[in-house]
Amino acid sequence: GLGLASSSSLIFGRKRIGTREAAKFASSSTMNFVGPWMLGASTKQPYIASKDTTLRNSRQFTAGPGPSGSQPGLSRSTLIMNAGTSSSASSKAPGTFKAFKAEDNIRQELIDMEPYIPILPYEILAQKLGRKPSEIVKLDANENPFGPSPKVKQALKDAPFLHIYPDPECVFLREELAKYTNVPMEHLLVGAGADELIDLLFRLFITPGKGQSVVNFPPTFGMYKFDSDVNGAKCVNLYRDEQFRLPIDQLEALYKGDGNDPRMIFIASPNNPDGSTVSDAELKRILKLPSLVVLDEAYFEFASDNRIGWVLEHSNLVVLRTFSKWAALAGMRVGYGAFPLAVIKHLWKIKQPYNVAVASQMAALVSLQDKQDLLAKVELMKKERTRFYQVITEFDWLHPYPSSSNYV
Protein backbone atom coordinates (compact mmCIF):
# COMPACT_ATOMS: atom_id res chain seq x y z
CA GLY A 1 0.00 0.00 0.00
CA LEU A 2 0.91 3.68 0.01
CA GLY A 3 2.38 5.34 3.08
CA LEU A 4 3.38 8.99 3.57
CA ALA A 5 6.82 9.31 5.13
CA SER A 6 7.49 13.08 5.37
CA SER A 7 7.31 16.29 3.38
CA SER A 8 10.21 15.14 1.24
CA SER A 9 9.53 11.52 0.40
CA LEU A 10 7.00 8.74 0.06
CA ILE A 11 7.19 5.06 0.86
CA PHE A 12 5.74 2.61 -1.66
CA GLY A 13 5.64 -0.84 -0.10
CA ARG A 14 9.14 -0.92 1.35
CA LYS A 15 10.71 1.43 -1.24
CA ARG A 16 11.23 5.09 -0.40
CA ILE A 17 10.81 7.49 -3.34
CA GLY A 18 11.39 11.24 -3.56
CA THR A 19 8.59 13.76 -3.94
CA ARG A 20 9.46 14.43 -7.58
CA GLU A 21 8.87 10.79 -8.33
CA ALA A 22 5.74 10.96 -6.21
CA ALA A 23 4.44 13.93 -8.17
CA LYS A 24 5.17 12.18 -11.43
CA PHE A 25 3.47 9.05 -10.17
CA ALA A 26 0.45 10.96 -8.93
CA SER A 27 -0.10 12.82 -12.20
CA SER A 28 0.38 9.93 -14.58
CA SER A 29 0.03 6.59 -12.85
CA THR A 30 -2.93 4.39 -12.20
CA MET A 31 -3.53 2.92 -8.76
CA ASN A 32 -3.57 -0.88 -8.79
CA PHE A 33 -4.60 -1.22 -5.18
CA VAL A 34 -7.53 -0.18 -3.00
CA GLY A 35 -7.35 3.59 -2.69
CA PRO A 36 -6.77 5.63 0.47
CA TRP A 37 -8.15 8.96 1.55
CA MET A 38 -5.48 11.64 1.28
CA LEU A 39 -5.67 14.92 3.17
CA GLY A 40 -4.12 17.79 1.23
CA ALA A 41 -1.42 19.83 2.93
CA SER A 42 -2.84 23.26 2.28
CA THR A 43 -6.54 22.71 1.67
CA LYS A 44 -7.06 19.98 4.28
CA GLN A 45 -9.67 18.53 1.93
CA PRO A 46 -10.06 14.80 1.38
CA TYR A 47 -9.15 13.34 -1.99
CA ILE A 48 -10.07 9.81 -2.96
CA ALA A 49 -8.00 7.44 -5.06
CA SER A 50 -10.01 4.34 -5.79
CA LYS A 51 -9.01 1.08 -7.41
CA ASP A 52 -7.90 1.44 -11.04
CA THR A 53 -8.51 5.21 -11.09
CA THR A 54 -5.90 7.90 -11.70
CA LEU A 55 -4.86 9.95 -8.68
CA ARG A 56 -6.48 13.37 -8.60
CA ASN A 57 -4.92 16.70 -7.62
CA SER A 58 -1.30 15.85 -8.22
CA ARG A 59 -0.36 19.26 -6.82
CA GLN A 60 -0.69 17.67 -3.41
CA PHE A 61 2.44 15.65 -4.20
CA THR A 62 4.70 18.55 -5.30
CA ALA A 63 7.95 19.02 -3.43
CA GLY A 64 7.99 21.64 -0.71
CA PRO A 65 8.51 22.34 2.93
CA GLY A 66 5.00 21.37 3.98
CA PRO A 67 1.96 23.14 5.40
CA SER A 68 3.89 26.16 6.71
CA GLY A 69 5.83 26.81 3.47
CA SER A 70 4.93 28.51 0.23
CA GLN A 71 4.24 25.26 -1.59
CA PRO A 72 1.53 22.76 -0.71
CA GLY A 73 3.95 19.93 0.09
CA LEU A 74 2.98 16.68 1.82
CA SER A 75 1.18 16.58 5.11
CA ARG A 76 0.66 13.82 7.59
CA SER A 77 -2.15 11.82 6.05
CA THR A 78 -4.58 9.24 7.18
CA LEU A 79 -4.83 6.20 4.91
CA ILE A 80 -8.15 4.43 4.99
CA MET A 81 -8.60 1.32 2.88
CA ASN A 82 -11.85 2.00 1.07
CA ALA A 83 -12.50 -0.71 -1.50
CA GLY A 84 -14.73 0.17 -4.42
CA THR A 85 -15.11 3.86 -3.50
CA SER A 86 -15.03 6.37 -6.32
CA SER A 87 -14.08 10.03 -6.11
CA SER A 88 -17.69 11.09 -6.49
CA ALA A 89 -18.99 8.85 -3.75
CA SER A 90 -20.62 10.53 -0.78
CA SER A 91 -20.46 9.45 2.85
CA LYS A 92 -23.36 9.04 5.20
CA ALA A 93 -23.93 11.89 7.58
CA PRO A 94 -22.61 11.31 11.10
CA GLY A 95 -25.03 9.52 13.36
CA THR A 96 -26.93 7.67 10.63
CA PHE A 97 -25.07 4.35 11.00
CA LYS A 98 -26.45 1.43 12.93
CA ALA A 99 -24.75 1.06 16.30
CA PHE A 100 -22.20 -1.73 16.54
CA LYS A 101 -23.38 -4.77 18.46
CA ALA A 102 -20.79 -7.47 19.13
CA GLU A 103 -23.12 -10.46 18.95
CA ASP A 104 -24.41 -9.39 15.54
CA ASN A 105 -20.87 -9.85 14.21
CA ILE A 106 -19.75 -13.01 16.02
CA ARG A 107 -20.11 -16.51 14.58
CA GLN A 108 -23.33 -17.97 15.94
CA GLU A 109 -21.74 -21.30 16.88
CA LEU A 110 -19.28 -19.46 19.13
CA ILE A 111 -22.09 -17.57 20.82
CA ASP A 112 -23.86 -20.88 21.48
CA MET A 113 -20.84 -22.94 22.61
CA GLU A 114 -20.13 -23.76 26.23
CA PRO A 115 -16.86 -22.35 27.61
CA TYR A 116 -13.96 -24.61 28.50
CA ILE A 117 -13.46 -24.74 32.26
CA PRO A 118 -9.72 -24.71 32.99
CA ILE A 119 -8.04 -26.02 36.13
CA LEU A 120 -6.84 -23.44 38.63
CA PRO A 121 -3.17 -23.08 39.67
CA TYR A 122 -1.88 -23.22 43.25
CA GLU A 123 -1.88 -19.50 43.97
CA ILE A 124 -5.47 -18.99 42.79
CA LEU A 125 -6.70 -22.05 44.68
CA ALA A 126 -4.91 -20.82 47.79
CA GLN A 127 -6.56 -17.43 47.48
CA LYS A 128 -10.01 -18.93 47.00
CA LEU A 129 -9.60 -21.41 49.86
CA GLY A 130 -7.86 -19.01 52.21
CA ARG A 131 -4.91 -21.38 52.58
CA LYS A 132 -1.20 -21.35 51.86
CA PRO A 133 -0.13 -23.07 48.62
CA SER A 134 2.05 -25.40 50.73
CA GLU A 135 -1.09 -26.70 52.42
CA ILE A 136 -2.65 -27.87 49.14
CA VAL A 137 -2.03 -31.24 47.50
CA LYS A 138 -3.01 -30.71 43.88
CA LEU A 139 -4.00 -33.83 41.91
CA ASP A 140 -6.58 -32.49 39.44
CA ALA A 141 -4.35 -31.90 36.38
CA ASN A 142 -1.93 -34.86 36.42
CA GLU A 143 1.02 -32.54 36.98
CA ASN A 144 4.48 -33.74 37.94
CA PRO A 145 4.96 -33.44 41.74
CA PHE A 146 8.77 -33.40 41.48
CA GLY A 147 8.87 -30.17 39.51
CA PRO A 148 11.29 -29.31 36.70
CA SER A 149 14.98 -30.08 36.56
CA PRO A 150 17.02 -27.84 38.90
CA LYS A 151 19.13 -27.03 35.86
CA VAL A 152 16.09 -25.37 34.26
CA LYS A 153 15.78 -22.93 37.14
CA GLN A 154 19.46 -22.08 36.91
CA ALA A 155 19.32 -21.63 33.15
CA LEU A 156 16.37 -19.25 33.41
CA LYS A 157 18.15 -17.30 36.13
CA ASP A 158 21.14 -16.80 33.83
CA ALA A 159 19.15 -16.31 30.60
CA PRO A 160 20.84 -13.57 28.52
CA PHE A 161 18.25 -12.88 25.81
CA LEU A 162 14.83 -12.61 27.44
CA HIS A 163 14.46 -9.17 25.88
CA ILE A 164 14.83 -10.57 22.33
CA TYR A 165 12.08 -12.27 20.30
CA PRO A 166 12.44 -16.06 20.32
CA ASP A 167 13.66 -18.25 17.49
CA PRO A 168 10.52 -18.78 15.36
CA GLU A 169 11.76 -22.19 14.22
CA CYS A 170 13.01 -23.47 17.61
CA VAL A 171 16.10 -24.78 15.81
CA PHE A 172 18.20 -25.80 18.82
CA LEU A 173 15.23 -27.44 20.52
CA ARG A 174 14.20 -29.33 17.38
CA GLU A 175 17.76 -30.55 16.90
CA GLU A 176 17.72 -32.00 20.40
CA LEU A 177 14.22 -33.43 19.89
CA ALA A 178 15.42 -35.19 16.74
CA LYS A 179 17.98 -37.02 18.88
CA TYR A 180 15.40 -37.80 21.56
CA THR A 181 12.76 -39.13 19.16
CA ASN A 182 14.94 -40.49 16.32
CA VAL A 183 12.77 -38.49 13.93
CA PRO A 184 14.41 -36.04 11.48
CA MET A 185 13.92 -32.44 12.60
CA GLU A 186 12.19 -31.46 9.33
CA HIS A 187 9.25 -33.55 10.56
CA LEU A 188 9.13 -31.80 13.95
CA LEU A 189 7.22 -28.68 14.96
CA VAL A 190 7.17 -27.10 18.42
CA GLY A 191 4.11 -25.35 19.82
CA ALA A 192 2.98 -23.42 22.87
CA GLY A 193 1.81 -26.68 24.35
CA ALA A 194 0.40 -29.52 22.30
CA ASP A 195 -2.88 -27.59 22.54
CA GLU A 196 -1.60 -25.06 20.02
CA LEU A 197 -0.70 -27.83 17.57
CA ILE A 198 -4.19 -29.32 17.89
CA ASP A 199 -5.70 -25.93 17.10
CA LEU A 200 -3.36 -25.49 14.10
CA LEU A 201 -4.49 -28.83 12.68
CA PHE A 202 -8.10 -27.69 12.90
CA ARG A 203 -7.24 -24.44 11.13
CA LEU A 204 -5.48 -26.38 8.40
CA PHE A 205 -8.04 -29.11 7.75
CA ILE A 206 -11.39 -27.57 8.72
CA THR A 207 -13.36 -24.84 6.96
CA PRO A 208 -15.71 -23.36 9.60
CA GLY A 209 -19.39 -23.83 9.04
CA LYS A 210 -19.08 -26.30 6.15
CA GLY A 211 -20.22 -29.35 8.12
CA GLN A 212 -16.78 -30.98 8.00
CA SER A 213 -16.37 -33.52 10.79
CA VAL A 214 -13.78 -34.95 13.15
CA VAL A 215 -14.04 -38.05 15.33
CA ASN A 216 -13.63 -37.99 19.10
CA PHE A 217 -13.67 -40.93 21.56
CA PRO A 218 -15.09 -39.81 24.94
CA PRO A 219 -14.37 -39.96 27.75
CA THR A 220 -11.07 -38.40 26.73
CA PHE A 221 -9.06 -35.18 26.68
CA GLY A 222 -11.48 -32.25 26.41
CA MET A 223 -9.46 -30.10 24.01
CA TYR A 224 -10.44 -32.14 20.93
CA LYS A 225 -14.09 -31.22 21.38
CA PHE A 226 -13.22 -27.67 22.44
CA ASP A 227 -11.11 -26.97 19.34
CA SER A 228 -13.74 -28.62 17.18
CA ASP A 229 -16.33 -26.14 18.46
CA VAL A 230 -14.00 -23.15 18.18
CA ASN A 231 -13.08 -23.98 14.58
CA GLY A 232 -16.60 -24.70 13.38
CA ALA A 233 -16.24 -28.46 12.86
CA LYS A 234 -18.83 -31.14 13.50
CA CYS A 235 -17.55 -33.33 16.33
CA VAL A 236 -18.69 -36.96 16.04
CA ASN A 237 -18.47 -38.58 19.47
CA LEU A 238 -18.02 -42.35 19.46
CA TYR A 239 -18.06 -43.45 23.08
CA ARG A 240 -15.65 -45.98 24.50
CA ASP A 241 -17.03 -49.09 26.19
CA GLU A 242 -16.79 -49.90 29.91
CA GLN A 243 -13.18 -50.99 29.44
CA PHE A 244 -12.40 -47.75 27.58
CA ARG A 245 -11.82 -49.63 24.31
CA LEU A 246 -12.23 -47.83 21.00
CA PRO A 247 -15.41 -48.58 18.97
CA ILE A 248 -13.52 -49.18 15.72
CA ASP A 249 -16.47 -50.91 14.01
CA GLN A 250 -18.58 -47.79 14.58
CA LEU A 251 -15.72 -45.65 13.30
CA GLU A 252 -15.41 -47.59 10.05
CA ALA A 253 -19.18 -47.41 9.53
CA LEU A 254 -18.93 -43.60 9.27
CA TYR A 255 -17.10 -43.79 5.95
CA LYS A 256 -19.39 -43.65 2.93
CA GLY A 257 -16.98 -42.28 0.33
CA ASP A 258 -19.45 -39.47 -0.47
CA GLY A 259 -17.11 -36.58 0.23
CA ASN A 260 -18.38 -36.17 3.79
CA ASP A 261 -16.01 -38.57 5.53
CA PRO A 262 -14.31 -37.29 8.72
CA ARG A 263 -11.29 -35.07 8.17
CA MET A 264 -9.47 -36.07 11.37
CA ILE A 265 -9.54 -38.75 14.09
CA PHE A 266 -8.22 -37.91 17.56
CA ILE A 267 -6.84 -40.68 19.78
CA ALA A 268 -5.18 -40.12 23.16
CA SER A 269 -2.80 -42.95 24.04
CA PRO A 270 -2.46 -43.25 26.98
CA ASN A 271 -5.98 -41.96 27.26
CA ASN A 272 -7.06 -39.35 29.74
CA PRO A 273 -8.78 -40.18 32.17
CA ASP A 274 -8.22 -43.96 32.36
CA GLY A 275 -4.63 -44.44 31.14
CA SER A 276 -5.42 -47.10 28.53
CA THR A 277 -3.47 -47.34 25.27
CA VAL A 278 -4.38 -48.19 21.69
CA SER A 279 -2.72 -51.36 20.43
CA ASP A 280 -0.51 -51.57 17.35
CA ALA A 281 -3.14 -53.66 15.57
CA GLU A 282 -5.91 -51.16 16.36
CA LEU A 283 -3.82 -48.21 15.22
CA LYS A 284 -2.86 -49.91 11.95
CA ARG A 285 -6.53 -50.66 11.29
CA ILE A 286 -7.50 -47.03 11.90
CA LEU A 287 -4.65 -45.77 9.70
CA LYS A 288 -6.25 -47.53 6.72
CA LEU A 289 -9.09 -44.98 6.83
CA PRO A 290 -8.87 -41.89 4.57
CA SER A 291 -8.51 -39.40 7.45
CA LEU A 292 -5.67 -37.73 9.31
CA VAL A 293 -5.08 -39.72 12.50
CA VAL A 294 -3.85 -37.55 15.39
CA LEU A 295 -2.24 -39.73 18.07
CA ASP A 296 -1.78 -37.78 21.29
CA GLU A 297 1.10 -39.28 23.29
CA ALA A 298 1.19 -36.65 26.03
CA TYR A 299 2.00 -39.37 28.60
CA PHE A 300 4.42 -41.28 26.37
CA GLU A 301 7.24 -41.42 28.93
CA PHE A 302 4.97 -43.27 31.37
CA ALA A 303 4.01 -45.93 28.82
CA SER A 304 5.87 -48.55 26.83
CA ASP A 305 4.41 -47.69 23.41
CA ASN A 306 6.36 -45.49 21.02
CA ARG A 307 4.74 -44.71 17.66
CA ILE A 308 6.34 -41.38 16.78
CA GLY A 309 8.56 -43.09 14.20
CA TRP A 310 5.47 -44.34 12.39
CA VAL A 311 5.03 -40.83 10.98
CA LEU A 312 7.83 -41.60 8.54
CA GLU A 313 5.84 -44.54 7.19
CA HIS A 314 2.26 -43.24 7.22
CA SER A 315 1.20 -40.12 5.31
CA ASN A 316 -1.93 -39.71 7.46
CA LEU A 317 -0.41 -39.97 10.95
CA VAL A 318 0.49 -37.15 13.34
CA VAL A 319 1.96 -37.82 16.80
CA LEU A 320 1.78 -35.14 19.50
CA ARG A 321 3.79 -34.96 22.72
CA THR A 322 4.43 -32.51 25.55
CA PHE A 323 6.96 -31.43 28.16
CA SER A 324 4.18 -30.82 30.69
CA LYS A 325 4.16 -34.24 32.35
CA TRP A 326 7.54 -36.00 32.29
CA ALA A 327 9.61 -32.77 32.37
CA ALA A 328 7.23 -30.88 34.71
CA LEU A 329 7.01 -27.85 32.42
CA ALA A 330 3.22 -27.50 32.37
CA GLY A 331 3.57 -23.84 33.30
CA MET A 332 6.00 -23.18 30.43
CA ARG A 333 3.63 -24.48 27.70
CA VAL A 334 5.89 -26.50 25.41
CA GLY A 335 4.61 -29.28 23.17
CA TYR A 336 5.81 -30.77 19.93
CA GLY A 337 4.62 -33.01 17.16
CA ALA A 338 5.89 -35.22 14.36
CA PHE A 339 4.13 -34.60 11.05
CA PRO A 340 4.26 -35.88 7.48
CA LEU A 341 6.14 -33.41 5.29
CA ALA A 342 3.01 -32.77 3.21
CA VAL A 343 1.29 -31.50 6.38
CA ILE A 344 4.08 -29.70 8.22
CA LYS A 345 4.97 -27.44 5.30
CA HIS A 346 1.55 -25.82 5.62
CA LEU A 347 1.63 -25.70 9.41
CA TRP A 348 4.79 -23.60 9.18
CA LYS A 349 2.81 -21.03 7.19
CA ILE A 350 -0.08 -20.66 9.61
CA LYS A 351 1.56 -20.85 13.03
CA GLN A 352 2.25 -17.64 14.93
CA PRO A 353 5.83 -16.56 14.12
CA TYR A 354 7.10 -16.33 17.72
CA ASN A 355 4.82 -18.91 19.31
CA VAL A 356 7.22 -20.47 21.83
CA ALA A 357 8.78 -18.04 24.30
CA VAL A 358 12.52 -17.73 24.88
CA ALA A 359 12.18 -19.06 28.43
CA SER A 360 10.04 -21.98 27.29
CA GLN A 361 12.47 -23.02 24.55
CA MET A 362 15.34 -22.78 27.00
CA ALA A 363 13.52 -24.83 29.66
CA ALA A 364 12.64 -27.58 27.19
CA LEU A 365 16.17 -27.72 25.77
CA VAL A 366 17.76 -27.99 29.23
CA SER A 367 15.21 -30.66 30.18
CA LEU A 368 16.27 -32.81 27.24
CA GLN A 369 19.91 -32.32 28.19
CA ASP A 370 19.05 -33.42 31.75
CA LYS A 371 16.68 -36.18 30.67
CA GLN A 372 18.41 -38.92 32.68
CA ASP A 373 17.46 -37.28 35.97
CA LEU A 374 13.92 -36.51 34.80
CA LEU A 375 13.32 -40.00 33.43
CA ALA A 376 14.59 -41.49 36.70
CA LYS A 377 11.83 -39.54 38.45
CA VAL A 378 9.36 -40.91 35.89
CA GLU A 379 10.38 -44.41 36.97
CA LEU A 380 9.69 -43.49 40.59
CA MET A 381 6.19 -42.31 39.61
CA LYS A 382 5.56 -45.53 37.70
CA LYS A 383 6.51 -47.58 40.75
CA GLU A 384 4.22 -45.46 42.91
CA ARG A 385 1.45 -45.93 40.34
CA THR A 386 1.77 -49.71 40.67
CA ARG A 387 1.80 -49.55 44.47
CA PHE A 388 -1.24 -47.26 44.55
CA TYR A 389 -3.15 -49.54 42.16
CA GLN A 390 -2.46 -52.57 44.35
CA VAL A 391 -3.58 -50.78 47.50
CA ILE A 392 -6.91 -49.52 46.14
CA THR A 393 -7.85 -52.94 44.72
CA GLU A 394 -8.39 -53.95 48.34
CA PHE A 395 -11.46 -51.71 48.52
CA ASP A 396 -14.58 -53.57 47.35
CA TRP A 397 -16.31 -50.33 46.41
CA LEU A 398 -13.53 -49.18 44.08
CA HIS A 399 -12.75 -50.51 40.61
CA PRO A 400 -9.34 -49.23 39.45
CA TYR A 401 -8.33 -49.51 35.80
CA PRO A 402 -4.80 -50.46 34.78
CA SER A 403 -2.99 -47.30 33.70
CA SER A 404 0.01 -46.52 31.49
CA SER A 405 0.06 -42.89 32.58
CA ASN A 406 0.96 -40.94 35.73
CA TYR A 407 -2.47 -41.45 37.31
CA VAL A 408 -4.95 -44.23 38.09
Q: What is the 3-state secondary structure (H, E, C) of 77-106?
A: CCCCCCCCCCCCCCCCCCCCCCCCCHHHCC
Tens-place pLDDT, residues 360-379: 999 999 999 999 999 999 99
Determine the pLDDT at residue 94.
67
Is residue 389 within 8 A of residue 400, CB to CB? The reply is: yes
With cut-offs at 50, 70 and 90, classify the pLDDT of residue 119.
confident
Tens-place pLDDT, residues 6-31: 344 444 444 444 545 544 444 444 44
Cα–Cα dist 38/188, whole Å: 48
Tens-place pLDDT, residues 222-255: 999 999 999 999 999 999 999 999 999 999 999 9
Q: How far are the Cα atoms of 147, 192, 386, 399 from residue 394, in angstroms, in the given order?
A: 31, 41, 13, 10
Tens-place pLDDT, residues 48-78: 444 443 343 433 443 444 444 444 444 444 4
